[in-house]
Amino acid sequence: MLAFGQAQGNDESLKALNFILEAWEEGTGSGIAPEIMAYAALYTALTDLVAAFGEGAVASLVDGLAPRVEKGEFTLYRSRQ
């Protein structure tokens, strides 16, 4: 399993990302709230990853996400509070 940062040079990964972004635009453009799209994407990703790598590997991946989220790795913009 590659993190996106590791896969940026991989044509297959970029092609997959473009497909996901196109589907995201289509869904949100059809009126589906972005957070609903996000939950659906996470569910789909996690079920596929479990099928491919097993529960243990996916649990380890998910456990490693909390520190990355807290550090702001997935924050596209920061609000001033």
Nearest to 33 by CA among 42, 46, 24: 24
Q: Tally the domains of the chain.
A: 1
| Interatomic CA distance for residues 46 and 39, integer angstroms | 10
What pLDDT score was predicted for residue 1? Answer: 46
Is residue 7, in this structure, part of any structural domain at all? Answer: no
What pLDDT score was predicted for residue 51? Answer: 98
pLDDT tens digits, one per residue of 26-76: 999 999 999 999 999 999 999 999 999 999 999 999 999 999 999 999 998
What pLDDT score was predicted for residue 5? Answer: 52
Is residue 79, in this structure, part of any structural domain at all? Answer: yes
Is residue 8, in this structure, part of any structural domain at all? Answer: no
Domain span at residue 37 reads 32-81
- Cβ proximity of 21 and 29 under 8 Å: no
**Cβ contacts of 46-53, under 8 Å, gap ≥ 24:** 49/1, 53/1
